[in-house]
Every structure is written in structure tokens, then in C-alpha cells.
């Protein structure tokens, strides 16, 4: 059994699971499954509090085809890319393919809406504000201020100006850009110096085991692609592998509960959220408002011209809440604005609903067993945002 004493004196806390003796067992206080944005952020917090922690990351320091194959799947029905090519399965997770766009949720995102079943959060935006402040430091963002007027005044350029929105139907918003922070690279040295966190690379969690009452997870089974195995026992397990893989792992862990761990109410894998993009039309601006760098994300992405307080920003258009529910939600960011002209901007985006079923199959690492996941989704697609109710089942 591998306890803390087995790792005393090591020069760093990154461990290649492929080099660990087969069948070994590790006991820790907290086990984090997934070394992406959430997993590494939590690991850094636990290190600061001196809590014995291990992180289990499926990939290594760099992407490799064999590990990426674990994300592959087959989709049926409406085309939807959720498997290969749209996720990063190595240290740092989704931060490895992130463009850095950052902005907080809006107050109305937490509200119940009559036309959206099961909508509404048990708390409001104010509850998250202290955490947003801390997230700005982690993501290397600027001041916690997303008022477009503040940034227009701070930048102070004639070619970076807000467009008047007199009708009240359309508003503008601001996003800040992280450099972006690639967590696997940016925080690597800090994690190497960690005294309480051990990070296992190439460690694929294939199953979670619960206690007899099925009320808490007691152990995680780990395999490498080469077939080596180990187990991790912990007082607390944290799943941080993303919306798709968290659900897959819970549903595939059905040795003690046929429906999967934590799925007594058949909700694991449902309410999957996504943000597809589509071009619905063009907007032309009147003379004098062309070549406005504030809204141009194609030619002025992270441009020095759209920067203040050490922070790059960009603005987008969005419908105001009073335009709901017919338009639900829409946000627009212009690819370029050299030839826009119009006396007024009127935007009406109709929503459409589509249903689909998709079936995915993934191989469990080293086991050769096939797992099926079936997703049923109803999609309401305004312009740039989409809400899905998604069911993933493992057979």
C-alpha cells in the first residue's frame, strides 16, 4: 500500500502511473479525478491547506493519439461533435484548447423561466461574486468590472467606441480575455513543489466503488493503457473530468447499483449544456461607426488597441431580457466591421427545436470492454447559446 511515507524525499509530485508496480494501492484524504481547470484549481487550494491529495489524470504532459482515442465515439441522429477533436485529454484539460473568453453569468441566468422546464437556481449571482474575484486571479484576468462604459472610457480611443442602443431591445456586453492560462503548463512548477499533492499521469479511472449502503464512494479503480492497475481509497472523491466524462464514469460504475452511482433519480447525464455558434444574418452600421475595434474579434482578438488595465477585452451584442421568451437569448460578436452601415439595428432570431438521439461507444482503458452511452436531447437554439436536456446511459 502506498502511503505518504512512500513518496517522502521525491524531487517532484508528478508520477507516471505506467511506472507504478501493478496492483498497488494508494490511500489519501482527497482524490481528485481529472487534471483540468477544475481539478488543478482544487488541488492548489488543498495544497495550500496542507491536505493530503492525489490527482488522477488520464493523459500526460502533452497530447497523444492513444489517450485521445478514449474520447472517440459514434453519433447517430443529428450531427453533433462531442467525442474526437473537441476535447483535450491531457494535463490542463480544456484550458489547452480555450480561447480565453471570460465573463460572469448575468443575474437573470439564475431566474426561473416559465417556458424552460426545471429552470432556476437555488441562489443568485451575489452568491458567486466572492468566487469570481478569486477566479480572476487564477485565470489572470483584470478588474472584476464588466461594464462596457468602464472599458470604453479606460481605453479612450476613437476607434474603440460603444454603439448606441436606444431601442432597449439590444444591449452590449464585455468579455475579458485570459492570456489564456494553460493550466498544465502555467501551474506545473507550482505543483512540482507541492508537499501534499501527488499527480498521477496516464491514470485512467475505469470504475468507482461505493460502500455497502451505496451512500459514498470508497475506492477508485485505475488502469493504464498498457494494462497496469492500481486502486485509490480516499475519504473524499472529487469528479473533475467534465460534463461528459463525469456522467460516463458514474453510469459505468454500476457494479453495485445497476443505474450507476448517484443516479437513483435518473438525472446523471441530463441537462447537458453546450454553446454552438451559427451565422443568422449580417448587420450594417451607418458611416462613422465602421471599423470599430471594440466589437471586432477577427482582426482585433487580444489586440493592444482594445486593452486597458493590462487586460484585453471585446464587446458583443445581446438581446435584453425583456425580449424573452420569443428570442430566449442571443449574443453576437462580429468577425469584422469594416463595411457595416444601417440607420438602425433590428434583430429578430427565431428559435427552433430539434430532437436527436446519439449513441457513443468508448473503450475502457486496458479492459477491452465496450460501453454504450445513449443521449436524448431536446435543443432550443436561439443564436449563440443553447440549452440541452441530455441523457447518457451506459449498458
Question: Is 385 part of any domain?
Answer: no
Question: pLDDT at position 196, please?
Answer: 95
- Both 47 and 188 in one domain: the answer is yes
Which is nearest to 208 in space by CA: 244, 256, 258?
256
Q: Which of 231, 266, 301 is the endpoint of a domain?
A: 266
* Residue 392 · residue 248 · CB < 8 Å: yes
Q: What is the pTM of this model?
A: 0.79
Interval 39-64 mean pLDDT: 96
pLDDT tens-digit profile of 141-193? 999 999 999 999 999 999 999 998 888 888 999 999 999 999 999 999 999 99
pLDDT tens-digit profile of 5-41? 454 334 458 999 999 999 999 999 999 999 999 999 9
Domain that holds residue 337: 101-177+281-348
- Both 171 and 202 in one domain: the answer is no
pLDDT tens-digit profile of 102-119? 999 999 889 998 888 888
Q: Of 171 and 340, which is predicted with more confidence?
A: 171
Confidence of residue 213 (pLDDT cuts 50, 70, 90): confident
DSSP 3-state helix, strand, coil percentages of the chain (rounded to 5)? Answer: 20, 25, 50
- Both 35 and 74 in one domain: the answer is yes
| Beta bridge partner(s), residue 32 | 55, 238
Which is nearest to 173 in space by CA: 305, 331, 323, 312?
331
- Both 106 and 173 in one domain: the answer is yes
Which is nearest to 57 in space by CA: 17, 20, 95, 87?
17
Cell triple for residue 316?
Answer: 458583443
- For the domain that residue 207 is a member of, what is the CATH number? 3.50.50.60
Which is nearest to 392 in space by CA: 215, 249, 264?
249
393 three-state secondary structure? strand
Flag whether pLDDT at 289 surpasses 70: yes
**193 contact partners, CB below 8 Å, separation of at least 6:** 12
Question: pLDDT at position 352, please?
Answer: 26
pLDDT tens-digit profile of 174-183? 999 999 999 9
| Beta bridge partner(s), residue 209 | 219
Flag whether pLDDT at 85 surpasses 70: no
| Beta bridge partner(s), residue 199 | 14, 55
Amino acid at each position: 500500500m502506498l502511503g505518504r511515507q512512500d513518496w517522502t524525499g521525491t524531487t517532484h509530485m508528478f508520477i507516471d502511473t505506467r511506472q507504478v508496480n501493478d496492483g498497488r494501492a494508494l490511500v489519501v484524504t482527497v482524490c481528485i479525478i481529472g487534471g483540468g481547470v477544475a481539478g488543478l484549481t482544487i488541488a492548489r487550494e488543498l495544497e495550500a491547506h496542507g491536505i493530503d491529495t492525489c490527482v488522477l489524470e488520464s493523459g500526460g504532459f502533452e497530447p497523444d493519439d492513444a489517450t485521445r482515442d478514449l474520447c472517440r465515439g459514434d453519433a447517430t441522429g443529428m450531427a453533433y461533435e462531442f467525442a474526437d477533436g473537441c476535447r483535450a485529454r491531457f494535463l490542463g484539460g480544456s484550458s489547452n484548447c480555450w480561447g480565453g473568453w471570460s465573463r460572469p453569468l448575468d443575474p437573470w441566468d439564475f431566474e426561473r423561466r416559465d417556458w424552460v422546464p426545471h429552470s432556476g437556481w437555488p441562489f443568485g449571482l451575489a452568491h458567486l461574486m466572492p468566487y469570481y474575484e478569486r477566479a480572476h486571479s487564477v485565470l489572470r484576468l483584470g478588474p472584476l468590472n464588466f461594464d462596457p462604459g468602464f472599458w470604453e472610457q479606460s481605453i479612450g480611443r476613437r476607434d474603440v467606441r460603444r454603439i448606441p442602443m436606444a431601442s432597449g431591445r439590444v444591449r452590449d456586453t464585455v468579455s475579458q480575455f485570459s492570456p489564456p492560462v494553460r493550466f498544465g503548463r502555467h501551474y506545473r512548477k507550482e505543483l512540482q513543489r507541492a508537499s501534499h499533492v501527488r499527480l498521477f499521469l496516464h491514470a485512467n479511472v475505469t470504475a468507482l466503488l461505493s460502500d455497502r449502503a451505496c451512500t459514498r464512494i470508497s475506492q477508485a479503480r485505475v488502469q493504464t493503457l498498457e494494462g497496469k492497475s492500481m486502486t485509490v481509497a480516499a475519504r473524499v472523491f472529487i469528479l473533475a473530468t467534465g460534463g461528459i466524462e463525469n456522467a460516463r464514469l458514474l453510469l459505468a460504475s454500476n457494479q453495485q447499483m445497476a443505474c450507476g452511482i448517484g443516479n437513483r433519480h435518473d438525472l446523471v447525464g441530463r441537462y447537458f449544456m453546450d454553446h454552438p455558434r451559427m451565422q443568422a444574418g449580417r448587420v450594417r452600421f451607418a458611416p462613422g461607426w465602421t471599423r470599430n475595434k471594440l466589437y471586432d474579434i477577427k482582426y482585433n482578438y487580444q489586440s493592444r488597441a482594445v486593452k486597458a488595465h493590462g487586460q484585453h477585452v471585446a464587446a458583443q451584442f445581446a438581446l435584453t431580457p425583456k425580449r424573452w421568451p420569443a428570442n430566449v437569448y442571443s449574443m453576437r460578436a462580429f468577425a469584422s466591421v469594416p463595411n457595416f452601415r444601417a440607420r438602425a439595428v433590428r434583430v429578430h432570431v427565431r428559435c427552433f427545436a430539434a430532437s436527436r438521439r446519439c449513441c457513443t461507444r468508448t473503450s475502457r482503458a486496458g479492459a477491452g470492454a465496450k460501453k454504450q452511452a445513449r443521449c436524448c436531447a431536446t435543443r432550443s437554439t436561439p443564436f449563440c447559446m443553447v440549452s440541452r436536456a441530455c441523457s447518457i446511459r451506459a449498458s
